[in-house]
Amino acid sequence: MTRHWPLVAGAVAVLVGGSARAQQPIRGFPADALATQVKNEQFVRSVPNADTLRTQMRILSEDPHEAGTDRSRHVAELILARFRSYGLPARIERFEALMPRPVTRSLTLVAPDTFTATLKEPALPEDKDSGDADQLPTANFYSPDGDVTGDVVFVNYGVPADYKVLDSLGISVKGKIVIAKYGGSWRGIKPKVAAEHGAIGCLIYSDPKDDGYWVDDIYPKGPMRPWQGVQRGSVMDMPTYPGDPQSPGWASEAGARKLPMSEVKTIAPIPTLPISYGDALPILRALGGPVAPESWRGALPITYHVGGGPARVHLVLKFDWQVRPLYDVIAQIPGARSPDQWVLYGNHHDAWVNGAHDPISGQVALNEAARAIGKLLKTGWKPARTIIFAAWDGEEWGLLGSTEWAEKHADELSKSAVAYFGSDTNEQGWIGISGSHSLEEFARQLARDIPDPKRGKSVLAAVLERRGARRPQPRDTVTAAGHGATNDHVAAPADTAYTIGALGSGSDYTAYIDHLGIASLNISYGGGARSGIYHSAYDSFDFFTRFLDPDFTYGVLEAQTLGTAILRMADAPILPFEFGHAARTYRRYANEIEREANRNPATKGLDLSDVYAALDQLDAAAAHYERALAPLDRMSAADVRRRWKALAPINQMLYGTERALTDARGLEHREWFKHLLYAPGFYTGYGVKTMPGIREAVEDVPNKDVAQREAARIAAALHRYAGEVEKAATALEAALR
């Protein structure tokens, strides 16, 4: 049986700032060390400040700063100067990547009427940034060049299930141009699936039902997407590999080897262009054919038809296919006791346009956490382990800066990385944590210890209360505006239990967890505000401060939460990994897959007994580990300090456990992805597929032989994982004796 919570003594009173309050145990610290740890954490939480966040957001979102430009370098240099002003050793690491910018974009309805799409977001007098010079034109990046003319077919969200419906209606997209709504999947899936069905071009538009006037008033009156608002975005085939398309698996530094374009696998297969609902309306209105199924219809004032034709469009796209520079900003604080154990925290700094929300809301919180750690350093404190803050470039294009850095430092990271903490956008709402389940208990304790000043309770209590009110939750929903690390998408089984979702893709943690097997958590606040400005010119300071987090309460909370997280991970005498939650969660995945397999004759009888045997072994190892850890609580802080050297290799075993879940051969058809438990779905993109090898052979392309072969690989990985946990338990038992 799984033991849910660690066996440690009950609450102890800790004297903080003159007032005693009950402090629950913090995993990895003996009771005797709690007072110091809590004092440091409270110090770090006292630093982040709403005015600083506001000022920083104003500065960093002043101009459009897409990657590959001097404006992105300027933002990187501002962050570098900030890090240095906090007393942190910091540097810029430069990479480069293929970042094609559009040269020609044109879309014309040529029949039955004529209409030329505007492809331009107008400036709004109410928002000065919306009229900035240098805005990146609206486009889908890593679309190929093309000049295509064809009848139009409306394909709903353009995911595989939608093509089954089209088949049942007798409608083919072969030789045609599809128009798909944003949402329902990572956008890069839409051209991929359309091309698999023979389409020659792909338009993607934002329907007002999903993030426009059907939801709320449009900007500037309200927060939703206006008529000419466009969601830019990458259509790189990220589920195959992220990062520079020409250097999968190695760093794209100046002069490094590059794949010839003929061998690049991540450029979209057909010309693809994002458009506003204002530009989509004349095209959709001109469609004939059957009326669209009810669930496909949006909120435009028309009857939605599927086509094909008589609407016919001419789409011309041309890009410059240039290699451009990337500027990652790295601040590294060497650990005083274990400098070769690294705790990482990253956010991206590049935006599609001004990007006050995406990514500056997350970046300014990271800067505040760094400032807090810098202030703590000035009191004489030193982290036991090395702390690395990273501001990544080129995330929007395809996780470029974070991936290239991970590939460059892969050997050191494999040996030294304890955990990766990620963030991206942040706004008012509830805490959302997704990631490795060996850190689920760590995540619960973290959320437990962060007070939400607006709700007068911990952010954990707030999110559990909300889940209770909202149950049942759909699993792994992906919205039109999502980054994929969706908030609380797995229902809590009971109010006392806190569960985290798994990570798919869609932000910079991808290289760390999926490629290198580093335990990761993505942490941000959200879900408390509506907005329809994602990846548009209206993602501005004015918008953010009107609708998303006007008083920066949740920016402060984000900085406090991440500051606390890295402080715990950097200073815990024994790293706060826990394995019972992982065993329980992985068993749930196996159960889901087994049920699904038995529903389909093509996979019925799939034998997962070896997976279950490995999970039984993991249950036993997790329980053994809890027994081994229990004596820690009774040790003195001085005694633990004396044993630091003896504990170091055990800590290395602990963070090494996540590596055991990887396989050097990677996933089938996408070897860059090494983690066998978590991956972005090949046909969902952002959306996670857990145990992807088996699950995709059951859910996507049912094949019992493939599923059985993948089950053997996953079982072997889980046996290895359980073995590593057992080894750590045995070593810890000896060390704490």
Q: Which is nearer to Zn ion, 86 or 420 (CB)?
A: 420
CA distance 467 to 647: 38
Residue 188: both structure tokens together: 């890069």
Q: Are 666 and 672 in contact (CB under 8 A)?
A: yes
Other C-beta atoms within 10 Å of 127: how many? Answer: 20
3-state SS assignment for residue 679? strand
In 3D space, the residue among 697, 297, 260, 244 whose CA is nearest the CA of residue 511 turns out to be: 244
Q: Are 142 and 268 in contact (CB under 8 A)?
A: yes
Which residue, chain included where needed, has tokens 């070896």?
610
Residue 435: alpha-carbon gap to chain centroid? 9
CA distance 468 to 535: 32
The least CB distance from residue 507 to Zn ion, in Å, is 6
Backbone phi and psi for residue 731, each to the nearest 5 degrees, phi listed first: -65, -40
Backbone phi and psi for residue 623, each to the nearest 5 degrees, phi listed first: -65, -40
Q: Which is nearer to Zn ion, 153 or 360 (CB)?
A: 360
Q: Which is nearer to Zn ion, 57 or 582 (CB)?
A: 57
CA distance 179 to 201: 9
Number of alpha carbons in the 13 Å side-chain half-sphere of residue 105: 18
Among 420-428, 529-537, 613-621, 655-663, which window interacts with Zn ion (CB under 5 A)? Answer: 420-428
The least CB distance from residue 505 to Zn ion, in Å, is 12
Q: Are 338 and 417 in contact (CB under 8 A)?
A: no
Q: Are 463 and 473 in contact (CB under 8 A)?
A: no
Q: Which residues ranging from 336 to 365 are in contact with Zn ion (CB under 5 A)?
A: 358-359
424 binds Zn ion (CB under 5 A): yes
Buried-exposed string 528-554: b where 16+ CB fall within 10 A, e elsewhere = ebebbbbbbbbbbbbbbbebbbeebbb
Among 147-155, 192-200, 417-425, 540-548, which window interacts with Zn ion (CB under 5 A)? Answer: 417-425
The least CB distance from residue 328 to Zn ion, in Å, is 15
Q: Distance between terminal CA atoms of the chain?
A: 25
Q: Which residues ranging from 358 to 397 are in contact with Zn ion (CB under 5 A)?
A: 358-359
Q: Which is nearer to Zn ion, 424 or 558 (CB)?
A: 424
Backbone phi and psi for residue 445, each to the nearest 5 degrees, phi listed first: -65, -35
The least CB distance from residue 73 to Zn ion, in Å, is 18
The least CB distance from residue 508 to Zn ion, in Å, is 8
Q: Which is nearer to Zn ion, 68 or 359 (CB)?
A: 359
Q: Which is nearer to Zn ion, 187 or 704 (CB)?
A: 187
Provide the H-helix boundaries in 471-579.
510, 541-543, 553-571
CA distance 586 to 573: 28
The least CB distance from residue 425 to Zn ion, in Å, is 6
542 binds Zn ion (CB under 5 A): no
Q: Which is nearer to Zn ion, 298 or 355 (CB)?
A: 355
Among 40-48, 159-167, 424-432, 709-717, which window interacts with Zn ion (CB under 5 A)? Answer: 424-432
Q: Are 621 and 613 in contact (CB under 8 A)?
A: no
3-state SS assignment for residue 642? helix
Q: Which is nearer to Zn ion, 201 or 680 (CB)?
A: 680
Among 236-244, 258-266, 423-431, 573-581, which window interacts with Zn ion (CB under 5 A)? Answer: 423-431
Q: Which residues ranging from 651 to 690 are in contact with Zn ion (CB under 5 A)?
A: none
DSSP β-bridge partners for residue 111: 312
Among 267-275, 335-343, 422-430, 676-684, which window interacts with Zn ion (CB under 5 A)? Answer: 422-430
Binding residues for Zn ion, how many (CB under 5 A)? 3
The least CB distance from residue 534 to Zn ion, in Å, is 9
The least CB distance from residue 383 to Zn ion, in Å, is 27
Q: Which is nearer to Zn ion, 243 or 359 (CB)?
A: 359
Q: Which is nearer to Zn ion, 359 or 563 (CB)?
A: 359
The least CB distance from residue 42 to Zn ion, in Å, is 30
Dihedral over Cα of 215, 217, 220, 223: its sign: negative
The least CB distance from residue 358 to Zn ion, in Å, is 4
Q: Which is nearer to Zn ion, 62 or 151 (CB)?
A: 62
The least CB distance from residue 481 to Zn ion, in Å, is 11
Residues that bind Zn ion (CB under 5 A): 358-359, 424
